[in-house]
Structure 1
Amino acid sequence: MHHIDFQLDRDYVELNQLLKLAGLCDSGGAGKAMVAEGLVRVDGAVELRKTCKIRAGQTVQTGDTEIRVRD
C-alpha cells in the first residue's frame, strides 16, 4: 500500500478536493466521480458523500493508496 501524509492547513477539506490535492485525480469533478462510484473509503467505510468534511486524524483510502490527514 502507498501512503500519503496530507498536511491540513484549515479545519477540514472536502473529500473530492482532498483527492485532487493529494494527486489521485486531475480535478474536483473527477474526485466526485470516484466517490460516487464507491471507490473511496473514509476510516474504513465506503463514503458516498462527495463533499464530506475530512478532518485531521482521519484516513482516506482508494485503490492501494491511503491518505493520512494530519494537522
Structure 2
Amino acid sequence: MDQVRELASKNAAVIFTKSSCCMCIVSRTLFYELGASPAIHELDRETNGREMEWALRGLGCNPPSQLSS
C-alpha cells in the first residue's frame, strides 16, 4: 500500500489501469484531450501489479471486473 500512496503523491493526476481495459483506455484518452498529463501505471505490466491492485482495493477503490482478471 505504501508504494501506491507514494506513486499517487508524485503527480497531480495518477491513473492505475490495465492495458487491456477499454474503460481505462477511454479514461486515459479523456485526460489527454483535456490537456492533462496523468501518470499512468498499468497494473498488468508492473512487476507487483497484483499487489498494487489489492492495495487500491484496500484504499476503497472498486475496479470493474476487467481489472481483477
> Is TM more than 0.5 here?
no
Point out which structure has higher relative CO (alpha carbons under 8 A, 6+ apart). Answer: 1
| Greater fraction strand | 1
State TM-score, norm by structure 2.
0.26
- Bigger Cα Rg: 2
TM-score (norm 1): 0.26
